Structures are given as structure tokens and as C-alpha cells.
Amino acid sequence: MQSPRISRRTFLKMAGLGTFSLLFSGSIRKVLGVPKPKRYRLGEIGGKDLQLTREVRGVCGYCSVGCGIIFYRAGDKVIHLEGDPDNPLNEGKLCSKGEASLELFGQHNPRRLRTPLIRVNPKPPAEELKKVKTQDELRAILDKYKPIWRPATWDEAFRYIAERMREILDEVGWDPRKEDGYYHLGKKFPLWIEAGAKLTNEEAYIIKKIATMLGSYNIDHDARRCHSTTVAGLAGTVGFGAQTQSFIDTQFISTYLIFGGNPAENHPVSMRHTLKGKERGTLKLVVVDPRYNRTASQADVFAFFRPGSDLAFLLYILHYAFWERNPPVDQLDTFKEFVTRFNVDLEEIKEFKEITKDYTAEEVSRITGIPVDKLRKIAELYVENSGVTTNFKRFGSIQWAMGQTQHHVGTQITRLSTLVQLTLGNMGFPGGGLNPYRGHSNVQGTTDMCILSHILPGYIKQPSNPLQIRVYQDWKNQGFPDAWHWEIPDWAGSSFGPNERGKVNSTKVLWSWWFQNWRRFELTWGIFVGTDPESDPKNGTVISDFPFGKGYTENTWWQGVLFDDVLKAAIIMAENIAVSDGDAITTYIALASLKLLVVVDLWEAETATFADVLLPGAFQYEKYGSITNSNRWVQWQDRVVPPAGDAKPDLWIMLKLWDYFKSYGIVRLPSQIYGKREEKVSIKNPNTGEMVELYERKIEPFMDYATGRFADPDYAYADPELIYKEIDLAVDLYNGMYDWVDGKILAKRRKPLLRTESDIDGILDREFLMYKDWAWTWPKNVRILYDLWTLSKTLGRTFQFTFTPGEYSVGDTLNGKTVSITGETGEIRDAKSGKWRPAFIPGHNFVVGKMYKRLWSGMTDLLTGAVTAKDLLWYGKVVGKFVIFSGESHTVTTYEDLGIKCPLCESFYYDEDVINVGKANYKKPYFKGTKDYKGKKIKYVGFYDWKKVRDKFSEEFRSLAKSLGIREAVKSMKEKYGEWYAYPNPSNSGEILAWDMRYPIHYEPVESPDFELATKYPAMAWRRAENYRFLEPPKGFEHLKDTVTMIPEDMSPPEGAEVVVVTTNRMTEHFHTGQLTRNVPLLAELVPEPFAEIPKPLADKLGIKPGDIVEVGNKRNVIYVRAMVTHRVPKLSVNGKEVYVINLPWHWGWAGAHSTYAVVNTITDVYMDVVTTMQETKAFLAYVRKAPIEKYDYRAKEENLPGIRP
Amino acid sequence: MGEMAIAFNVDNCIFCRACQVACHVWNNTRPQVTEFSPTLTNPPDLLPNVWMVMEAKEVVEGDEFHWLFLKRQCMHCSEAPCAKACPVNAIEIHPEGAVVIREDKCTGCRFCIEACPYDVPKYDESSEKVYKCTFCIDRIQNGLEPACVAACPTDALVFGDYDELVNRYRSQGFEVYGDSVNDYVGRTHYIYVTRKFKGKLTDPKYFGERLKKDPRKASVQVGTNVVEPVGWGLIGLTLLAAAGHFIYWRAKRIEEKSESEGEKGGE
Ligand code: SF4
Ligand code: SF4
Ligand code: SF4
């Protein structure tokens, strides 16, 4: 392998070289006659003695770009850091946050928590908090109940927690169900766990494992609030919910549409790569945003648009492509070719095309506030530089973050972005795809590990009923087959979807993938999911150590506390929801209502105000572990120094909690209660039905990571490398990140080199700077998702690979064949040869990672079996038995006999058949079938049917809204027709038609600035029960009803105020709830105080001067911040009306340095996405006016500022 | 290493302010406790502990709107009027172009402040010394790029051979500020380049408040640091009278200072 650029040396090595060269550089300036200027030691000016330091490599712990950092340590002090010049993601560069990281270490930061704390005074009472209507009232209560802590030992703190948990469990009578099987209901567990996206992959995996083994799905994390709608929108349409490109790859884009993101501020180093394309003149940057932000300062084309009109804007791009362009894109051969490659049904496209017809430039301009000319200019630029219009030579790409996701129709918006890309042929190429930039350093990883209430690690379905367990047991008995070899038993009926014998369909593909993963969890967790006896799946007793169902989400959990009385305790790690929850006062009420709240954090943050126990955690730099950046690169962090004082890494805390929970009888696994101690692993002879026993597996829940391999006691007890290996085996998505042949953690791979052309994916690596030997990427080290065509279409060539006969563990379609590879394949260690082989052949297609073929289908257990999880994980011991059937007889053989060199490598392979089965979901109905309502049938229908009643629906809604107000109009129609977005079928009086949401259409935000738009494109929120509770709240929470202000007319603003559309945002200098930046003096210097960005004309109208205090309020709360008067937020013309937009950065709260009670999220809302419960914090209504300075309560509490100079 | 330059490419800056933080981190200067800034620029001016500041400015001209970003710090003038003004030769001019105040030699007389036409050096009350950007002399002498350059994610900051950089930018169609400013400062070793804002670098509505067309200060030269007296002696003489009182006060301070130091030394 060869490098195209010099592998850069690290800091000190370079320093050495420099010194050498300087000796020979003669001074030629006019300094003769004066003493020679001083020669300085490296670091002399800052008083840093760098010659004595040790380098520790890590990854920036702020945003998700994944910039490499080299830390310089002298003894146990971290004295300096520099960007890692070898890391291709940042090439030595960092943004202000990365640079300021040094101040996070306890040694530099007196605010870091150093010891466990137990509260000794009462918490703020819920009843008092319910009355809060202003910032002043909030401050009064929180000041009164300011926590008083007493220091405690860890043992004391853990006992305190476990005792109370035990009491709570006894109170609710926590035991598995036994009626139709032994299992827990995952939504009933009284403990709510939130574990944030700052955790490592190993920690995220362990916390979800712990929750699941406690019987709970009441676990979720910040991903719910940031990109849950992206994951749902993308995964539901093309297979995976992640960035398809990489940051580096953005330089190859032709038109980069920044729509809903702000990378220059929130992912600054990513711009390094994007601007390379601009510099070369091959990339046009188009920014469409409610703010002229720092990204906009780099734009070739910029347009202001109204927050919440996202769907309309994207629909216009397609309107242009389908209806204005000549010829329309669907007439192009390239289009047909492209949609065929995604197996899309042309009928579906027709229906969708019909939808886009109404979204003309004029209509969309009325909705968005973007002038018609500009709209057209953007659409033209985008469409004419797309795959289908350039024969796959140039591509458009869409970047977004919270701008698209945080809406009650966020899933529809991200899905629409996906449909735009599918329609225009911009998907699956370097330079073309989808770029949802994630927020936290490891939020991609914590999402992949699924600290989520609805899926198991790796996006695996959680079971919902005993039948699924029966079918699963039957699947095991069939020999753990892939979809091609699996038959759904007849007795399963139709609940598994179409049961087509001998045929592969999407049901089989998905369920066999899920089952495969369930099996991985069974083996690595030492649990049991199946029937007793195993041989009778149909009638045996169902035992499932996986709980059933889905839990509360981070946006619905408060309803679990306040309305449903299910959640009574909470553990919140590495999150600060008191600042980040939408409609945060409701969060305070819920937090205050808990019997036990444990907070694990770096600081005494806002959420700790409501805590009973506050435990000191560690930051990423103080941990060992892997982290996955936004473009799915899994990189390794080494511990730079341990956290100060008695603080501990979260992994240690979790595992200790587990130990205490176990000894307090809190862990109640159904298999143990039933007494299932062993699993008989048998495979059925397909010809005779005879069960052939392979081996017996002991059921011993496995949570023992105390390998003692690390010298450091925290990690001697909690070995992160062992967990890393476990993840490789347990989570199919991450399988391949451990190299079982060479025993290597591939996340630690740091080769800044490109491959040669003869290597796997070598051509692509060289052409598109993929750096495939830097770290590891899921799936199977694929860097560009869905890349099936780049070699053949874009580069006009192919790559040949020969599967030498018999050498590889692949099936007939590949064995002995020479295959032509047309895209990116990724790579796998082959079980038989131990060599690397291409994984996805002929390239990576959508959903392909989920579909697999298995050479050993019907022959052996997954991972060739494990007697105990500990054997498997600690010692790599496998059972290694295979059964080979021939007619009525069978032989049992071993992996040694079969010449298998890597028993822990699976025999999965992915060939052309796999590509042909997968299908992109152009159409995706979110509601299906029919239901009865008051003697009528509600039928969920597609666009053609819905169109028949659509206008009548909105006409009736408008006329009711005029007389009753919008809120009552919604209730009245929902009551009348039994569903929201439903209307009687004019040609069948017994039927009500309800829109099934199969394609995105425009919906106004719940709080819209215009009555006409709000009734023509009504918000969809009321489809979801949790949202409807705002219209009809339970007893004791009537106040919530009044917080719903759907149009400016509902607002009743005070004198001198103007009702405006509000959007929220993050800034370069701060991070999320501000704890990681307000407490960092270097960053606080840059932006110390909370403020609102107010358009200049509005400021003039209201008499607001720069720096004045403004009151921003609505019926949820009223807050006071500084005014930043600017031209960078607009006055728009929306539906002929003047609409002002203001922006609120939301990084402030009352705890830590630079504090205020003006928590922006106390005025945002929590109307939830219909699919994922994402809150609508990017577009809502408030009023703004000038306020007296006394109202402003900001405090700068700086102490012990570091630095040796003045 | 010959004569070097740091180029700030106005067109590429995204105002991430990594440079400002990196400057603090490398030099270990105390972060400033600031207040709300209506423009985001913070702190609003250079300080003894803040040697560079990123400035942001909104410009509206007709239908056009621009958000300008400008890096502000010592310009490292070839004629270094500050150095010439320093009576104790505490400001050294390095062959790389760096103009560096020797902390150990600075007496806090503040002549340099008077001489600097870009308002750069800042006096610190507590240490009674003057501070400013060092061109990261302790990095470049040891073969590293300056800290701000090393941090800058978009390559808006580039460090390189002076002539090579100037020529490269010019040949790529950039307008360059710095390579020949005027007789007072000579050329600056921080250069500013743009393609997007041609003709506007020295326009006060845009960058001109900082990138002065004719930077000049009515000031004095009492130091002996620079041996290239052509013209300078004269200017020094004419200004002497005007600044008479001022100089007297400073000179006195220097004496007091050295006396007290002497005392210390005698302990
Ligand atoms: S915050 Fe993001 S862009 Fe900035 S240094 Fe860290 S990872 Fe890189
Ligand atoms: S900018 Fe001012 S301080 Fe810097 S070298 Fe020039 S005169 Fe001296
Ligand atoms: S680091 Fe570079 S991009 Fe960031 S503010 Fe400084 S000059 Fe601008």
C-alpha cells in the first residue's frame, strides 16, 4: 500500500525536524548590529514543558465529526492538545470546542464533580411547579429548594439506590407475567433510564443490556430528540438511518443543499472538506435556512425560509423535476434505470408525482416565504446537477440536522429528502446521498447500540407477543437459517405476513435478520428466549428474557410519570433534560414527582436540582472505548487521565449498579423464575422431522467484565475491550469491527493511507479518499452506503474478484466464480480461509446489510455455538458442532473436520440475489387497514382516495375553526369521524376515509403564523394519542390545554409585543445544554450571555436596541434574554402577511458558570412526531417585546480561571 | 526558515474561532470574562490576555448582505514601529518576520502602544507589562506552524514563505493586503487575501477600519533596536517635542522600575 500524501508526523517529531532545519537558516534581515533575537523553547511562552510529555490519542468529545486529538500528558496532568494530523477526518484541525477541550479535565476545572452526593433537603414540589408561568416564578421555587448535598461513598450511594429501587419494585409487585408464557412487559418497569449520547459504544450497549435484563424497555436517550425522525424516515425508505456519505466525501458533491443544518457552526471541521470542493469550483453551496448563519456566509445561493415549511420547499424541488422541467425526470432513461436498481414500483412514483403537482412555485412561495424566482433558481440548480440528469456524473446531496428533524412531521421531512434523492438518482455515490449530521460525538454509536425504548442493539425488533417467540424457537430448530432456507411454520398463520412457501419475501428477510440477532443476544448474554421444551415450539411454554413491547420515549416518559403512574424512579446519565426537554416545565413537574432520581453527570447541572443522588461520571477523554462518528466511523479513545477525585467512568457505574441490583433481588429474569437452566440446542432433520441434538447450553446471565487485564482498577473491573468483542458478536450491524484472525480492534486502526487498486475497494479508496484502513465503518467497513454503481457508472470500470473454489465460506452463487464488482463491497474475514473477502457483491445496495445468506443454514448454531457466554467471550470457546443431513440420516461433525480456521467468523455472504429482493419504499403507509368507529369503518387510504375528500376535510375544519377556534375544531372533527385527517366517503356512507400518510405532503406546524395555511394544511399531530392529551388532558393537568396556541390569534400577547415565529439553534461556541461549554471559560469568553436574534425591522418597530433585554413568552413560560439585533433573521412575506422570525440559541440554564433561569426550552413545545415522538422545537409561536433590565438574571460565576499569563 | 507570512483568507473563514481559543491554549493566556456582544465579536478589543480576536460585522449594501469575518492581532510589521519605539529593546524582530515582546525585558513604558497604528499591544496592570501576539515564535522556531494556523479547519489561515504565499495568492486572482502597506509599517507579515471582496479590503465600510490604507501614528522612536535609520531619525526628532511630557513620565517610570528591580536584586 502506498500513500498519496506524506503520512504526517505527530507534533513532537515535527518539532524535532524543525529545530534541525532552523540551524541552517541564515538570518538575512536587517537585524545586524542588534543582539540576536531570543531563541525560544517549544512551549516556552505558555510555560508548557512539552519535551517531557506522553502522547495519548483520542477523539473530540463534542460534536460528531470525530476529529482526532492528541493529548500531551506530563505525569498525571494534561498540559496540551493538538489536532491529530494523521486523522483524515480533521487532518490536524479542530474547531473552538475541540481546542478548548483541555479545560474539561478536573485538573483545570474546579466545577467537575468529584464525589458521590446524597441530597438532604426536600426537592421542589410538583404542585408548586405546576403553577409556574414565568421565569421569575420558576426562579423563586428553584431557589427555595436549592439542593443541599452530603458527600457519600460509592457503596453508600449504591446501597441507597438499590434499597429504594427494591422498595419501589415490591410496591408495584414486579414479577414476570405467567399467563401465556414467562415474560416481562417492557413498558411496565417503574424505573426510567436515560443514558446520553456522550457514552461510548461499550457503555451504551451495556446500559441497554442491563435494562433489557431487568425486564425494561423504559430506556431512551437524546437521539430520540435529535435524529429519531431521520432514522425512521431513512431506514423506513432505504434501509439504514444514517449518513450515506462521509464528511470527507462532501468535497465531491456538485450541489450541496444545506437544508436544516448549519455545519459551519455545528460541525465546523466538516466544512474543511466541503470547502475543498468549492475551492476547486466543482461544488455549489446552497443554503436554505430561517437564519443567515455562518454556513450561509459561504453559500453561492442563500434563501431565507419560514421554519416549519420544510415539506413544501422539498415538494417544490420535485414539482420542478416532474412538472416544470422538460422532459420531466421520469421520462429519462437514467431515471428508469435508477429506480429499477432500487426495485421501485413505477405505479408508486406515479401516485407520488400526482401529489407534487399542487406544489407550484407560487403556492410554495406563499407557504415558505421564498420568492418564486429564487425557488426556481434553486430547484433548477439542484435538479440539473443530479445523477439522472448528468448520467451519474454529478450529484446533489442534502445536509440536515435538527432543522428537518424537530417537527411533529420530522419523519415525513427526512423521508421526503430521501425521496428527492431517490427520484433524482443522487443516492449511493461518492458525492451524492444523504447527510444528516449527528450531534454528539457518539450519538450515532449510542443510537446503533439502541439506548432506545423500541429496539434492541443494531436496530433489532423487540418481541411483542408469545407467538413470535414460538416462531423463533421453530426457526432455531430449523438450524438458524437465512431467509432463503427458512419456512415459516403453517401454524403461525398470517401474523407473520404472507407465508409463501419456498419463496423469499421481505417478511422473511426481516424476521430472519431479527431472529439471527436475537440468537446472538441469547448466546452472548447467557439468556433464554424460546419454548420449553424446545422441541415443541407450537405448544411448549413460552419463556422470554426479552421483555415484550416498547417503552416510553424521552418525549413521552413524563406522561408515564404524571398521567399513567407507571414510572416512579429514574436514572439519568450524561444528559441534562432540564435544559434540553421541550416544554421543560412539564419535565420539572415530572422530575419532581419521582420517588427516586439518580443523576450521573460531570457537573451539578440543572437536572441535578431535582435529584436525590448525584454521582460523578467521567468525560470521553477519561475513558477507554469506541465511538462512532456521524459518518459511521468507529474510532477508539484511550484514557488520557482518570477523572479527578472519586469520579468514575460510566461503564464502571453501570456494572456496579447491576451488581447491587442483583444482590438486592432487583434482577428477575423470566428464565430464572421459571427455572430454565439449560437449553437443548437441536436441529430438525427437514426430511424426517427428527430432532438432532447438537449440544446443551447453560443459561447463565452474563455481565462479568472483570478480566483484570487493565492495570487501572476502574477498567480491571470493567474491561471495555471485552465488551467491544461482545458487541462484534452480538450486534450484526457491528460485526466485523473485531478482527478475530489477527485479534485486532479495528477501531484502533490508524493508517492514514489509501489502498492500492488491487485491494478490495482499492479503486474507490484512491479515487474518493475513503481511507478504508483508518478505523472501521458499519456495515462491513463500507464507507458510502448503497454504493452499487460508482465503479461501473461513474468511473466506467469494474473490479474482478475470484472466489477460489472451496476456499471461502460462500454458497454456489459465488463459490468458484469470478465476480464483477461495480460498487463498494466492504470486506469480511472469511471463516474458512481466514482471508479478507469482499462482503456485498457486486456492491452495497440498500437494506443489503440486513439481508444475508448463510452457508451454514440448517447446519449449526450461530457463532458455531457457545456452552456459556463466559466461555465464548472470555476464552473464545465455541462448541463447533455441525450436522449434515443426507436424506433420512445425518452426521455430526466439527469445525476442525470442516477445515474452518476462524470459528468465530460467521459464514454470511451477500450476493446478487440479495440485491434483487431488497426494495426501496417509495410508498410507505404509516397507518394500514381499517378500524371500527361508532358503527362506521375507518379506512386508511392512499392519495387517490384521500384526494376525493381532502378539500372537504379542510373546508369543514376551517369553518369549524372560525367559529370554535382551532383547538375545539380539531376535537370536534376527531370526535365526529373517529380519526384525525379523516372524512366520510361521499360514495359510501358506511365508510370514513383517513389519509394513510404513505407519501409526504405539506403539514403546517402545530403553531402556525397563518390561519388560512393552518386550515388548508392542518397539522398532523393529533393522530398521535400522546399529542391529543394536550387537547384533552387528564385531571389535574388541565393547564396543559391552555398552552396550546395554534395561531397568533390564540396568543393574547401583552402590550407592546409582536407575535413571531420562533426557531431555536445551537452555536459553534456552545454545546447543547451548555454544561460542556458554559463551564469552559475559553468558550464562555466567546459567547457568555443568552440572547435572541431579532430582525432589524422588528427591533425598530418595537424600539429594541442591541443588548437590550427582551421578554420572549407564550402560554408555556416567559423568559428574558439579551437582544441581538441583526439582518440575519428575516421578515418574510407568508401568504401575503408579514411574518417575523426570531431565533433563540438554547444553551443556557441556571446551573454552572454563566447561568440564567431563562431556559429556552421552557417556551418550546413537545408536540410529537407522529412516528417517533420527536418534539416540534424548530417552529413555534411566541411574542417578543422590550423588557426592563431588572428582569434579566444572568450571572457569570467564574472562578480560578486557568492560564499563567495576565 | 526565511521570511514567513501568515495569510488570512477572508473568503474561507467560517468564524469558528478555533484560532482564538488555540491562541489562548498555546500561550496559556487567561480567558477573559466577557459580556454580551451585539456582534458576536468577543472580547470587543484585544487585551493583554487576549492576543487575537475574531471580529464579525454585518454589511448591508442595497440588496446585498454580507457577514464579514476578520482576524485581528499583531500584524508583524517589517518596520515594526513598536520595536523602534521601545526604549529598552524589548521588542525583537525575528528573521521570520515575527515581532516579539520580550516579557523579561519589557518595562511597561507603553511606547510601543503609542507607536502601533493597529492598536495592538495591550498593557497589563497587574504584571505592568505589555503583551501581544508573538507570531507563535516558540512554535515556528521549533518547526511548527503558529497555533491559530494549525487549528484553522478551513485553511483560512495559512503559514508559509512570504514571497511564495504572496505570489501564489496573486496568481490565483486574489487581492492581497500587506506586502507593501506604507513607509510607516513597511509590509506586514500577517497578510489578508480575498477574491470575493476585491476592492473592499481597505474600504472602511468593509474591512478598512482594521486594514488601514495608510496606517500611521504620530509617535516617537527612542529605541536602538533597529539599525536602519533612513528617515527615522528625523521623524523621531520632530515628534519629540509634541510628546515631551509623555516621554518624561515614561522615562521616570523606567527609572523607578529599574531601581526597584535593583533593590530586589540586592536582597
Ligand atoms: S466539536 Fe466537532 S468539529 Fe469541533 S473539533 Fe470537535 S469533533 Fe471536530
Ligand atoms: S501591528 Fe503594531 S504591535 Fe504589531 S508589529 Fe506592527 S506596530 Fe508592532
Ligand atoms: S480558525 Fe480559521 S475559520 Fe475559524 S475563525 Fe479562525 S480563521 Fe476563521
Q: Which residues of B touch A1086 (CB under 8 A)?
A: 17, 20-21, 34, 40, 42
Q: Is A616 within 8 Å of A602 (Cβ atoms)?
A: yes
From the CA of A152, how many Å to the nearest CA of chain B? 34
Alpha carbons A573 and A557: distance in angstroms, whole number: 15
| Residues written for chain A | 1206
CA distances from A146 to A350, A435, A614, A752, A821 (A): 61, 43, 14, 51, 64
Q: What is the pLDDT of residue A34?
A: 59
Determine the 3-state secondary structure of A1120 from DSSP.
strand
Q: Distance of CA A208 to CAs A220, A446, A451, A509, A632, Å?
A: 9, 10, 5, 25, 20
Query: What is the reported pLDDT for A177?
Result: 84
Does residue A747 belong to any structural domain of this protein?
no
- Rounded CA-CA distance A1103/A1096 in Å is 10
Q: Average pLDDT of chain A?
A: 94
Please give the grid coordinates belonging to residue A853: 445468506
For residues A885 and A1100, what is the distance between their CA atoms, to the nearest angstrom? 84
Find out whether the beta carbon of A268 lies less than 6 Å from any atom of ligand 1.
yes
Chain A contact set for B153 (CB, 8 A): 90, 93-95, 268-269, 271-272
Nearest CA, atom 2, ligand 3? B152
Q: DSSP 3-state assignment of A1024?
A: coil
Cell 491529530, located at residue: A84
Span A700-727, mean pLDDT?
97
Q: State the smallest CA–CA distance between residue A805 and chain B in angstroms.
A: 49
Q: Tell me, yes or no, whether A1182 and A1064 share the same domain.
A: yes
Chain B positions in Cβ-Cβ contact with residue A100 (cut-off 8 Å): 21, 25
Cis peptide before A457 (omega within 30 of 0): no
Q: B139 contacts in A (CB within 8 Å)?
A: 42
* Residue of chain A whose Cα is closest to the Cα of B18: A96
The answer to the question of residue A969 being in a domain is yes
Q: Is A151 helix (H, G, I), strand (E, B) or coil?
A: strand
**Res A25: pLDDT:** 31
The 8-class DSSP code of residue A1160 comes to G
For residue A266, what is the enclosing H or E element?
Answer: helix A263-266
Judgement on whether residues A946 and A1058 belong to the same structural domain of the protein: no
Task: State how far the Cα of A345 lies from the Cα of A354, in Å rounded to an integer.
Answer: 15
C-alpha A204 to ligand 1 mean position (Å): 21
Nearest CA among A683, A685, A704, A678 for reference residue A694: A683
Interface subset of B 11-70, CB within 8 angstroms of A: 12, 14-18, 20-22, 24-38, 40, 42-43, 48-50, 58, 60, 65-67, 69
The verdict on the CB of residue A269 being under 6 Å from ligand 1 is: yes
Q: What's the mean pLDDT in A539-561? A: 97
- What's the pLDDT band for A1204 if we cut at 50, 70, 90? low
Has residue A283 been placed in a domain?
no
Same domain, A1067 and A1170: yes
**In the prediction, which pLDDT does A1200 show?**
65
Co-location of A1084 and A1177 in the same domain: yes
CA of A62 to the centre of ligand 1 (A): 6
Domain that holds residue A47: 8-104
Asked if pLDDT for residue A3 goes beyond 70, the answer is no
Both A957 and A1066 in a single domain?
no
Average pLDDT (A844-851) is 86
The DSSP secondary structure of A915-970, one letter per residue, reads HHH----S---SS-SEEEETTEEEEEE-HHHHHHHHHHHHHHHHHHHHHH-HHHHH
Rounded to two decimals, what is the model's pTM? 0.94
Is B65 in contact with A96 (Cβ distance < 8 A)? no
Same domain, A989 and A1052: no
Is any atom of ligand 1 closer than 6 Å to the C-beta of A65? yes
| Domain count within chain A | 3
Is residue A272 in contact with ligand 1, taking CB distance under 6 Å? Answer: no
Domain presence at residue A733: no
pLDDT digits (tens, 9 = 90+) for A53-90: 899 999 999 999 999 999 999 988 999 999 999 999 99
Q: Answer yes or no: do B154 and A272 touch at CB < 8 A.
A: yes
- Find where cell 486594514 sits: B211
Alpha helices in A357-459 (DSSP H): 361-368, 372-383, 402-405, 410-424, 443-448
- What pLDDT is stored for residue A506 in this prediction? 84
Which protein residue's CA is at the shortest distance from atom 2 of ligand 2? B116
Among A735, A759, A760, A738, residue whose Cα is nearest residue A747: A738
Indicate if the pLDDT at residue A676 is higher than 80: yes
**Within-domain flag for A1128:** yes
B139 has a chain A CB within 8 A of its CB? yes
Say whether A1193 sits in a helix, a strand or coil.
coil
- In this complex, the residue of B26, B93, B151 whose CB is nearest that of residue A94 is B151
Largest Cα separation within chain B, whole Å, is 70
Task: Determine the pLDDT at residue A11.
Answer: 47
A46: amino acid identity, one letter: G
pLDDT tens-digit readout, A938-976: 999 999 999 999 999 999 999 999 999 999 999 999 999
* Cα of A438 from ligand 1 centre, angstroms: 12
Query: What angle, rounded to 10 degrees, do the helices at A650-663 and A154-172 form?
Result: 50
- Mean pLDDT for the stretch of residues A534-546: 97
The DSSP code for A578 is H
Comparing B71 with A340, the larger pLDDT belongs to B71
pLDDT value of residue A616: 98
Burial of A434 (0-12, 13-18, 19+ CB in 10 A): buried
| Residue A175 resides in a domain | no
Q: Residues 6 or more apart from A786 whose CB is under 8 A from it?
A: A238, A239, A244, A427, A428, A433, A844, A845, A846
Domain membership of residue A83 (yes or no) is yes
Report the b/e string of A893-930 with b at 16+ CB within 10 A: eebeebebbbbbbbbbbbbeebbebbbbbbbbebbeee
State whether A1162 and A1055 are in the same domain.
yes
Confidence category of residue A1205, pLDDT binned at 50, 70, 90: low
Q: What was the pLDDT predicted at B217?
A: 87
Three cell numbers, residue A738: 473485531
Q: Do B16 and A93 touch (CB under 8 A)?
A: no
- Rounded distance, CA B83 to CA B85, Å? 5
B58: chain A residues, CB-CB within 8 Å: 1126-1128
Compute the distance between CA of residue B86 and CA of residue B92 in angstroms, rounded to an integer.
10
**Helices (H), ranges, A641-775:** 650-663, 670-674, 713-717, 720-730, 762-768
* Ligand 2 pocket member B86 (CB < 6 A): no
- The C-alpha angle A270, A276, A277, rounded to 5 degrees, equals 105
Residue A16 lies in a domain: yes
Q: Are A633 and A619 in contact (CB under 8 A)?
A: no
Q: Give every residue of chain B whose pLDDT is below 50, as ranges.
A: 219, 223-267
Phi and psi torsions of A761, nearest 5°: 60, 20
Q: Is B180 an 8 Å CB contact of chain A?
A: no
The pLDDT of residue A726 is 98
B-chain CB neighbours of A26 within 8 Å are: 95
Residue with cell 448563519: A293
- Give the mean model confidence (pLDDT) for residues A663-686: 96
**A587-602 burial, b if ≥16 CB within 10 A, otherwise e?**
bbbbbbbbbbbbbbbb
Q: Which residue of A has its CA nearest to B39?
A: A1124
Q: Which of A11, A28, A30 sits opposite B227 (nearest CB)?
A: A30
Ligand 2 pocket check for B74: Cβ under 6 Å = yes
CATH value at residue A99: 2.20.25.90
Q: Residues with Cβ < 8 Å from A199, sequence gap 6 or more?
A: A207, A442, A446, A451, A573, A574, A650
Name residues 228-257 of chain B within 8 A of A (Cβ). Answer: 228
Q: Which of A516, A514, A583 is nearest to A554 (CA)?
A: A583
Ligand 3 atom 1, closest CA: B152
- Assign A591 a pLDDT band (cuts: 50, 70, 90): very high
**CA gyration radius, chain B:** 19
Contact residues on chain B for A298, CB-CB shorter than 8 A: 12, 14
**Ligand 3 centroid to residue B20 C-alpha, Å:** 8
Which chain B residues have a beta carbon less than 8 Å from that of A105? none
Ligand nearest to the CA of A99: 1
Q: Are A965 and A1062 in the same domain?
A: no
Lookup: cell for A1115 = 402560554
How high is the pLDDT of residue A849? 82
Atom of ligand 1 lying closest to residue A269 CA: 3
Query: What does DSSP say about strands A68-74 and A54-59: parallel, antiparallel, or unpaired?
Result: antiparallel
Q: What is the pLDDT of residues A10-43, one digit of tens each?
A: 444 444 333 333 333 333 334 344 578 999 999 9
Q: Would you call B105 an interface residue with chain A, using a CB distance cutoff of 8 Å? A: no
- Classified by CATH at the fold level, domain B1-230 comes out as Alpha-Beta Plaits (3.30.70)
- Residue B13, C-beta contacts closer than 8 angstroms, at least 6 positions apart: B54, B69, B70, B71, B154, B156
Among the partner residues A265, A296, A1124, nearest to B38 by beta-carbon distance: A1124
Q: CATH number of the domain at A1082, please.
A: 2.40.40.20
Do A93 and A24 lie in a common domain? Answer: yes
pLDDT in tens, A731-776: 999 999 999 999 999 999 999 999 999 999 999 999 999 999 999 9
Question: Which of B96, B99, B102 to probe ligand 2 with, by most ligand atoms within 8 A of CB?
Answer: B99
Q: CB of A329 within 8 A of CB of A383?
A: yes
Q: Do A42 and B138 touch (CB under 8 A)?
A: yes
pLDDT score of B220: 52
Residue of A nearest to B32 (CA): A1085
What ipTM goes with this model?
0.94
Q: How many angstroms separate the CA of residue A363 from the nearest CA in chain B?
A: 24
In chain B, what residues touch A90 (CB-CB under 8 Å)?
153
Cβ B25–A1196 below 8 Å, yes or no? Answer: no
Residue where the block lists cell 376525493: A948
CB contact under 8 A, A1203 and B31: yes
Determine, for residues A294 and B3 on separate chains, whether the beta-carbon distance falls below 8 Å: no
Nearest to B36 among A99, A265, A1089 (CB): A1089
What's the gap in Å between the CA of B253 and the closest CA on chain A? 21
Which chain A residue shows the shortest CA-CA distance from B30?
A1203
